Amino acid sequence: MSGTSLDGIDAVLADLSQSGPQLLLASHYLPFDDALKQALLELHHPKQDELHQAQLTGNQLAKMYAAAVAPLLEQSGLPRSEIHAIGCHGQTIRHRPEHGYSLQIGNAALLAELTGIAVVSDFRSRDIAAGGQGAPLVPAFHDRVLRHPDFHRVIVNIGGISNLTDLAPGKAATGFDCGPGNLLMDAWCSRRLGRPYDENGAWAASGNLLPELLERLLADPYFAMPPPKSSGRDLFNIAWLERQLPVGENAANVQATLLELTCRSIVQAILDHCQGATEIYLCGGGAHNRTLRDRLAALLPASTVKTTEALGVDGDFLEATAFAWLAQQALHGKPANLPQVTGAKHPCILGAIYRNQQDAI
């Protein structure tokens, strides 16, 4: 998995024959360098020769995905022949379900060639073809491994974009994208401090909330839209932020307001659509932000707010594990989307499969 935060690749080796959340045999993180991150950022916007650049960058990503496989095999001691498939999400460069597409690059054919392992990719297109958003796709996996028969849980993934999964006892899982997670905070921190992120939210904690700016940001129609809904850098980006900013505003105060935006959008989503939730579990990079965690807990006094580590699940690799499971579903010919989450007209088998000659058909 490489997501909206554009920080790097989360890779896992998962044994999906096991029950419960204890699935990981190995994990590895491979960071993007600055040049690749910049190339990916540029591909989010139209520019000259973008198709050629997207293909070249996709090839580069495939080589990095392949490089992330080797440490997993080394950690586990398993030969490649024991691996059924690689589930590769690819890197999203455009997410426009309203126009009938979501584009992830990463050259899955090259990845299969480089690793000698079957690859499943392009998970979002079939759901979109069936009228869905193509996202979020992880709620189905959350439902499989994190549901409790008695406790009303909400799983909140805070990556570049934040999304939630509502796991109410006796009810079908639901979920949607809440809005910006780390994306705007990281972009502002990079622009003003030259750092990739605000560690533990310390810079945000040093600033003061700007109520008028927060009100302008929350006035974006996305926040009031009912689910199903999904979003990404196509909407929430540094240009979107700068259009709302007053001239000369204190940078730390802006960061404090962006952290509040992330928290308020998550909390409002929970209050509006997950009524009665008693347990909130955080995962993704934002779960490491102590200031953000504390603020969410303060805004949700009726619920316990913890990370998924409290359930024995490594939140940094939960999303990558979800795409391993989605790959397994594709190989078995089983639907993996949740129409009540994405808005698709029906359940769909997700993903395109790139097999090697030795793979059984």
Can you spell out the DSSP letters for 134-160?
A: ----THHHHHHHH--SSS-EEEEEESS
Name residue 65's amino acid: Y
Question: How far, rounded to the nearest angstrom, does the alpha carbon of residue 201 sit from its chain's CA centroid?
Answer: 20
Residue type, 295: R
User: What are the C-alpha distances in Å from 326 to residues 50, 122, 214, 254?
Assistant: 30, 11, 37, 38
**Which residue reads 């359930």 in tokens?**
311
Asked if pLDDT for residue 314 goes beyond 90, the answer is yes
**Mean pLDDT confidence for 27-46:** 95
Query: What is the torsion angle, in degrees rounded to the nearest 10, for the CA atoms of residue 92, residue 94, residue 99 and residue 101?
Result: -30
Q: Which of 292, 241, 225 is nearest to 264 (CA)?
A: 292
Domains delineated in the chain: 8-136+318-354 (3.30.420.40), 141-311 (3.30.420.40)
Question: For residues 323 and 270, what is the distance between their CA atoms, to the nearest angstrom?
Answer: 25
Query: What pLDDT shows up at residue 19?
Result: 66
Name the H helices within 14-107.
Answer: 34-42, 50-76
pLDDT tens sequence across 46-72: 989 999 999 999 999 999 999 999 999
For the ranges 17-26, 69-78, 132-141, 222-231, which has the lowest average pLDDT?
17-26
What is the pLDDT confidence band of residue 17, given thresholds at 50, 70 and 90? confident
The pTM score is 0.95
